[in-house]
Structure 1
Amino acid sequence: MTALPQYERLEAPAIWREGPLAQRREVIVVFGDATLMIADGRSARALTHWSLPAMVRRNPGKRPAIYAPSEEEGEEVEIDDPVMIGAIEKVHAVLEARRPHPGRLRGWLGGGAAAAALALAVFWLPGALIAQAARVAPEAKRVEIGQQVLGELTKLTGQPCASRAGTRALTALAERIAGPSAIAVLPEGLKGARLLPGKLVVIGRETVEGPDTPEVAAGEIIAASLGAAQEDPLLRLLRYEGARAAFWLLTTGDLPETALAGYGEEVLANPAPPPADEPLLAAFAAAGVSSTPYAFARDPSGESVLGLIEADPFKGQPAPRPVLEDAQWVALQGICSD
């Protein structure tokens, strides 16, 4: 009737009072499947569950909204979060539309209930809300969010490495691969590469300083970019942040100010799984890059990446053109040292 089990739940802070004489306490309210759970704000232990259909609002039209589990005096909760209030009110609107209304045409009643239910499904079910926000976000907004995620990453890794010649080499590498909008090298804390919203790729310092050839860095970027076909980086971000962030992005065009706090740790700790060999080899072929150096960088023994080595699109022959000129590669290797 309300949320579905496969979707994430809406959560919001609130103030709860167990009875008229009880002390007010900070809690978390969770919008679940037909119930509103009230949990302790510190331990997250469930304190009580209210039936969403049975809930009543004590102060219609006022904020914070005051709800009770029934018409009886006693337990109350104050909620100031607009997303949570809207979700509860939508449920009540659907229920009201489904009740008999003498004197109205039966067809009008059925159509109104269906429209209200459709509105709830499209705009309030968290999974649908998140998917819609990611789907309609324009590219300029994706680039802006990608830069914001980069800002969160730099709190953990330090500012991106930069030098005049090294930065030019990064631009040349992005143009050569024709996938990322930009590439940034982070000085510490990152191994391999990550794709951020807006096709921004970040790579770790050791990816450019350790290997003998730029094919390894190119391969990491190709693999990370291919991951967008498996999961949109913005969709992944919104799934992590939850329905409230998606709602703000849809309605205001921006994420909440504190939405990305801590997301840098998530990006560093959870790289996307390597793509399957077949699409990855096709991406290497399209980019004109040998897959063998990247494969050995992933597994020096070659055992787990044998498919990338044996089916290298340029095995035994040079790629159409170098990934970078020698001078560009030397400049890129020293980008964090200058």
Structure 2
Amino acid sequence: MTALTKYDRLEATGLWRATPQDQRREVVVSIGNATLVIKDLTDKAITHWSLAAVERSTTGNAPATFHPDGDPGETLDLAADEADMIDAIDQLRRAVAKARPRPGRLRWLGAALSVSAVVAGVTLWLPGALTQHALDVVPTVIRAQIGEDLLRRIQRVTGQPCRSAGAAPGLKTLALRTNTENLVILRSGLSDSLSLPGGKILLHRGLVEGFEEPDVAAGYILAETLRIQTHDPLETLLSQAGMRASISLLTTGNLPSTTLDAHAERILQAPRPPVDDVALLAAFASAEIRSSPYAYARDITGEETLPLIEADPMRNADPKPLLRDADWLRLQAICGS
């Protein structure tokens, strides 16, 4: 989802607070690509809210209070004289609501599934079948919202994602070269990389700060994209959460907060599933990126990653530089000090 063209340059001032205990502070609000961007008065981004998960707790225009779905303690107040921004947010929220499955339709699917179970037998009700059915019918916008909900919970451990205007071009180029739509770099709490429902890929800051070449970070991104193909993050969530989570998703379009809380804690601690070396080498070849730097980053001796070193598809080639030096240096500084 992208912001409507007529709102691309729209900005407003408002009052924001992270928790009910914090003092409200004056901020600048703008509409970005699928997000509501909240910046301080020095134009430094404080936080990004997904437009797919913005809720309004007041009516009318005097003032309008918004908060992320599931977190009413973090609020943004817009005064009545910021009517253009209030109308823009409300219009985008309505557009998102229309894109979501109608609750009645989801309830109908749940009822239809019950009837099918009577006809076809109890086998259809097995957890695996329910999970697969949920994966088949849940639309992209709901997957993305679940990913945003998980990221918001993960940020309780990792802190806010790293962002800087200077690093944006390098981050965008890295995403394009690895055929990834949404990259997020986190300060702490993550061992290396992680993927969430909706295609969002998280990287620990050390993957850009701790290496001289961007090929290492690119390698971890390519590995995560392959994991998404073989280990769907939403399937992992539903399988681990149990049959009730699949039923809740099918009948309401949402997952319980307790389910999301538990999964966010679990995936930060769980080891990442292995990736097939042959498939990974093919991904490196397709992206024209060297696999050796990634292999040595995983194992400095190279013993455990020898196939990725010996069969590096770019060993005898002269690949196009992944990033310009200036963009790479700025990306390395994305988290600041």
Which position in structure 1 is the counterpart of 2:278? Answer: 278
Which segment is superposed worse, 201-210 or 128-137? 128-137
Residues 262-305 of structure 1: CA distance to partner in whole angstroms, max 9, x if unpaired? 22221111132231211110011111111000000000001111
Which position in structure 2 is the counterpart of 1:125? Answer: 126
Q: Distance in 2 between matches of 1:215 and 1:240?
A: 33
Q: Percent identity?
A: 44
Q: Distance in 2 between matches of 1:255 and 1:115?
A: 22
Which position in structure 1 is the counterpart of 2:308? Answer: 308
Q: Do 1:181 and 1:198's aligned partners in 2 also have CA atoms closer than 8 Å?
A: no
1:125 to partner: Cα distance: 2.0
Q: Do 1:184 and 1:201's aligned partners in 2 also have CA atoms closer than 8 Å?
A: yes
Seen in structure 2, the aligned counterparts of structure 1 residues 119 and 166 have a Cα distance that, compared at 3 Å, is: farther
Q: Do 1:191 and 1:206's aligned partners in 2 also have CA atoms closer than 8 Å?
A: no
Q: Distance in 1 between matches of 2:292 and 2:130?
A: 42
Matches within 5 A, 1:1-338: 116-118=118-120, 120-122=122-124, 124-178=125-179, 180-319=180-319, 321-337=320-336
Aligned residues: 227
Which segment is superposed worse, 134-143 or 208-217? 134-143
Q: Distance in 1 between matches of 2:121 and 2:330?
A: 55
Note the residue ranges of structure 2 that are not aligned, 5 or more in a row.
1-109
SS in 2 for 1:297: helix
Q: Do 1:191 and 1:207's aligned partners in 2 also have CA atoms closer than 8 Å?
A: no
Which position in structure 2 is the counterpart of 1:12? Answer: none
SS in 1 for 2:142: helix
Q: TM-score, normalised by structure 2?
A: 0.63
Residues 248-269 of structure 1: CA distance to partner in whole angstroms, max 9, x if unpaired? 1111222123320122221111
Which segment is superposed worse, 321-330 or 153-162? 321-330
Q: Do 1:197 and 1:233's aligned partners in 2 also have CA atoms closer than 8 Å?
A: yes
Q: Distance in 2 between matches of 1:306 and 1:248?
A: 45
Residues 81-102 of structure 1: CA distance to partner in whole angstroms, max 9, x if unpaired? xxxxx9xxx8xxxxxxxxxxxx
Which position in structure 1 is the counterpart of 2:52? Answer: none
Which position in structure 2 is the counterpart of 1:10? Answer: none
SS in 1 for 2:166: helix
Q: Distance in 2 between matches of 1:170 and 1:242?
A: 36
1:120 to partner: Cα distance: 3.5
1:230 to partner: Cα distance: 1.5
1:153 to partner: Cα distance: 1.0
SS in 1 for 2:167: helix
Residues 139-195 of structure 1: CA distance to partner in whole angstroms, max 9, x if unpaired? 1211111111111111111111111112332222111211x2200011011122111
Q: Distance in 1 between matches of 2:169 and 2:249?
A: 34
1:117 to partner: Cα distance: 5.0
Superposed structure 1 runs of 4+ greater than 6 Å apart: none
SS in 2 for 1:202: strand
Which position in structure 1 is the counterpart of 2:41? Answer: none
| RMSD after superposition | 2.2
SS in 1 for 2:208: helix
Which segment is superposed worse, 223-232 or 305-314? 223-232
Seen in structure 2, the aligned counterparts of structure 1 residues 246 and 115 have a Cα distance that, compared at 3 Å, is: closer
SS in 2 for 1:164: coil
Q: Find the structure with the greater CA-based Rg.
A: 1
Q: Distance in 1 between matches of 2:126 and 2:254?
A: 20
SS in 2 for 1:188: coil
SS in 2 for 1:258: helix
Seen in structure 2, the aligned counterparts of structure 1 residues 165 and 127 have a Cα distance that, compared at 3 Å, is: same
Seen in structure 2, the aligned counterparts of structure 1 residues 120 and 327 have a Cα distance that, compared at 3 Å, is: same
Note the residue ranges of structure 1 that are not aligned, 5 or more in a row.
1-85, 91-111
Q: Distance in 1 between matches of 2:117 and 2:331?
A: 57
| Counterpart amino acid of residue 215 in structure 1 | D
Q: Distance in 1 between matches of 2:317 and 2:127?
A: 51
Q: Distance in 1 between matches of 2:135 and 2:271?
A: 20
